[in-house]
Each structure stands twice: as C-alpha cells, then as structure tokens.
Homo-oligomer: A and B are copies of this chain.
Amino acid sequence: MSSTAPLTYDQAGVNYDLIDPLKVTAQRAAAATASHLASHGFTEVQASRGESAYVVDVGPFYVASIVECLGTKTLVADEMAKLTGKSFFAGIAQDTIAMAVNDLITVGATPLVVQAYWAAGGSDWFGDAQRAQALVAGWKAACDTCQVAWGGGETPALAGIVEDGRIDLAASCTGLINPKERLSVGDKLGPGDAIVLLASSGIHANGLSLARKLAERLPQGYLTEIEPGLTYGEALLAPTALYSPVTEALWKAGIAPHYCANITGHGWRKLLRHPSALTYRIHTVPPKTAVLEFIQKEAGQDDREAYSTLNMGAGFAIFVKAEDAERTAQVARDCGIQAWVAGTVEAGPKQLLIEPLNIRFSEDDLALR
C-alpha cells in the first residue's frame, strides 16, 4: 500500500466481517436464555435484543445493563505521553465511561452505577502513579458529570494476554428506566418523527485503528498541527462527549425520545439501527470537527466511506416527535452540547439518505442483527 493510497477501515486492521458472524451466533444463543428470567418472576424486554443495552422488566421499572470496551484509544494516549510528557488518562477515563453510558441511555435508562474494568499488561502499569491517578481522577469526574455512582471494579494484571505496558479499559453500567414510559426501544419510532443530532467532541473512541494507521504515514505523526496550536494527537484525544445529562434534561423537560442511536462503530450507518423498515432522510449535516475533516482528507476517504465509519461531527441521534424537535435541540444546547434538527423519519424502505452529500446507506450496509 503506497502512502498516498486511500486508507479504509479494513486496511487499518479491524475486519468486522470476521467478528459480525460470531456476534450473530452469540446473539442467538443469548436470546435463548431469556426464559430464565421467568424463574425469578421477571421478563426481558424483547425489543432490547440487538439494541445497545439489554432491558429486563422487574415490575415497578425496567433494569438496563451493558458492558463496553474503550477500544484502542489508549495506544494514542501512550504515544502522546511519550511525545509530550503529559498524561492523557483522565480524558481516556471519560472516553471509557462514555462508551458505556452513551449506549445505556439509548434505551431510555438513567445510568446509576458504573463499574471499572482496568486490565493491565502487568502489575507495574499501576506503579506509574501519575498515570494511575489521572485515570482515577478522570473516572470520578465523568461519574460526577453523569451523576452515576462508581460502584467498584476490577484491576487485574494480565501479563501474556494484555501487552506489556498497555491497558485494556472497559466499563459496565447498570441503570433504571423509571418510569417505564421512558423506554425508548420497540415500536415508538415511526414516520413523521424528527431526527436530532448531537455534536461529537471529535473522533470519540471509534475509528482509532484508522486514525493510528494514518499517524504512521504523516511525517510528523501525532505532532502534525491540524490547526494552529492543535496537534493531531491532542485532537484525537479530546474526550468523548457524555450525553446522559442531555437525556436526563429531556425527561425533566417532558420529552421522551422515541428512539436513540449512539453513533460509534459503523459511523452513521448506526442511524439504521432500529429494526423497522423506515427511511431516514437527513437534510442538515452538522459540521465535521477539525480532526475528522483532517482524517477524511489525509486518508483520502470519500464522504460515503467517511460517514460509514466515523461519527463525522454527530455523536448521538435522538428521534422525537416532530413537535419536540426544536426544543430537544435547545435542551441539548442548554447542557453545553451543540445540536441540530437534522432530518425526518418516513415510511419507505430501510435506508438512510444523507441528501446534502448525496449518500444512501441501505439495510445491507448494516448487518448487526
């Protein structure tokens, strides 16, 4: 591969074609275990199967739970620590919590408890006090922002599994959907609903394999300035936006989303996540953040490739009644997160039409179920 050839996500080392079939097999086996809940007097919310978080009806409310991995963003933080002497692990902690919390809230849940999963390549990872303290401080700060209790966690040393000097970070999250009418999976979504997009803070924690590959072919690597005073590495490490303050504020404002999509792996194709056959027509495309624009340009990606793998400026989608759309965007802005009324849901074949960019994604482009 020449250094000016376009860089695709598969070339960057993540092959969803190998992973997705296992996911499907596992999802089928998982679905067959739902009947066990009856022995405890409970039932699953079947519509949550295949959604971002799993939901159980325990009577007075629903319980939602999830575990989520950060991915490979720590590799950028490790490299930037070497280059700058700074620790970026406070931001990395926020990224990790965002992966779990932003998924959990898609079903309408209020996140209550986060558990930390910090699996290091050896005990000595925890001996670097500055880095370890940054991880702790950032983890706590993100819990404060999301108003969740940090319940505890696991800090294993896994020499031989996790590479020496590295750490595998994940978070689990448990929450309640309370009152039950906040549940936002199932058949609430329908034609006429509006699509509100919330701004991302940068690349978030998906697409980092691609971003790292790109750094290798930049003459100055992570220290390349993408705008005056901002290096590529620092821009990549902007912590992922936490969206639970928005979903909580929406509920307080009397707005119950019909559906939500956390725009992570598979980029904007995640807007097709809901199982119904519906057409999503986007009329307003949020500005790309500087780092995403830089990646797209340097990787030589066309819009279709970029929007199919990266968030491209929109980190979270909220589907609401059309009459609630403007107010939804305003609530988000009041929480400090830019937002746009970006499109509409229509009857029609399952497809996403990003009209300003002349892109169409169909059901075949997202085989998650």
> Which segment of A154-162, A192-200, A279-287 sits at the interface?
A154-162
Question: A67 an interface residue at 8 Å Cβ cutoff?
Answer: yes
A40 pairs with B147, CB closer than 8 A: yes
Cα A222 to Cα B53 with chains together (Å)? 40
For A132, the chain B residues whose CB sits under 8 A away are 22, 25
Q: Counting CB contacts under 8 A, is A187 at the interface?
A: no
Contacts of A124 in B (CB 8 A): 15, 18
In the assembled complex, the Cα of A343 lies from the Cα of B155 at a distance in Å of 32
Partner of A40, one of B110, B139, B162: B110
Interface residues of A in 117-156 (CB under 8 A from B): 117, 119, 122-124, 126-127, 132-133, 136-137, 139-140, 143-144, 147-156
Chain B binder among A56-64, A288-296, A311-319, A357-365? A56-64
How far apart are A39's CB and chain B's nearest CB, in angstroms? 5
Point out the residues of chain B lying under 8 angstroms from A21, CB to CB.
126
Copies in the complex: 2
Residue ID in chain B nearest A154 by CB atoms:
B69
In the A-B complex, the 6 residue pairs with the smallest Cβ-Cβ separation, listed nearest first, are A54-B151, A172-B172, A30-B150, A15-B123, A67-B115, A18-B123
Q: A26 an interface residue at 8 Å Cβ cutoff?
A: yes
A249 within 8 A of partner (CB) = no
A151 to B36, CA, bound (A): 12
Kindly list 7 other residue pairs between chains A and B, CB separation below 8 angstroms, not including A30-B153, A63-B174, A66-B152. A14-B123, A26-B136, A34-B149, A36-B147, A66-B172, A119-B168, A172-B172
Rounded to whole angstroms, the CA-CA distance of A65 and B147 in the bound complex is 17
The 30 sampled A-B contact pairs (Cβ below 8 Å) are: A13-B122, A14-B157, A15-B123, A19-B157, A22-B126, A23-B155, A26-B116, A26-B139, A26-B155, A29-B137, A30-B140, A40-B112, A44-B149, A54-B113, A54-B151, A54-B152, A56-B112, A63-B112, A65-B174, A67-B67, A67-B117, A69-B154, A69-B156, A71-B156, A115-B172, A159-B209, A160-B163, A160-B212, A161-B162, A170-B170
